[in-house]
Amino acid sequence: NVFKMAELAKEVKADAVYYNLVDVFKEETDFLVLRVNDYIELEKEFQITEKYLKDNCIEIENLNGFKERIASYSQTAEYDRRRIDSIPCYVGWFFARILANGEVVPCCRGVNYPMGNINKLSFSEIWFSKKYNGFRSRAKYLKKDQPYFWKMNCYKECDNFMHNQSIQERINKIHSG
Mean pLDDT of 49-62: 91
> Where are the domains positioned within the chain?
2-71, 84-165
pLDDT in tens, 114-149: 999 999 999 999 999 999 999 999 999 999 999 999
Q: What is the pLDDT of residue 160?
A: 86
Q: Which of 33, 101, 19, 122 is nearest to 62 (CA)?
A: 19
Q: What is the pLDDT of residue 115?
A: 98
Using the predicted structure, report yes or no on whether residue 24 has a pLDDT greater than 70. no
Mean pLDDT of 58-86: 75
Strand partners, 98: 104
**Confidence at 63, pLDDT banded by 50, 70, 90:** confident
